[in-house]
Structure 1
């Protein structure tokens, strides 16, 4: 299941909880892998209902193994950084008529 970076309205937040709750209550293996570049404390910025999100997070982190990976992005390793500075423009040449 891929969610991507989008804001969930109230209905979608409740559906997210439903998916998490079904996996949590499933007998047998209930492995779920979530990845995020945001700390869980910031997830509320993208979900429209705090109570469903909090219940989801309770189930997600109940028996979770959390891997916190720090460092430079693998996808961004070949990007170039460019710095631009704005200043006063020099006098512009007069346009020829």
Structure 2
């Protein structure tokens, strides 16, 4: 039995999901999160392509050329985070 309420999110649902992601991670961390995800996907694609090439070479097809090691690009040094200042208000009414 198929449930019509379960499926891929449509237009408004994507906006809600995006708003929750911004709230959880913060707008400043989203570019780093996207960059890390992109690097992970590139490495994954390179490794799966390498496995397919190795499989073809093992089957007797033309040997695959040696693969270069997958290297991540250097990440820019980020500025140190600003110190967290706690705002503690004293309660003068409760001694």
Same fold (TM over 0.5): no
Task: Choose between structure 1 and 2: higher helix proportion.
Answer: 2
Q: What TM-score, normalized to structure 2?
A: 0.26
Mark the structure with the bigger radius of gyration: 2
Greater RCO structure (CA 8 Å; 6+ sep)? 1
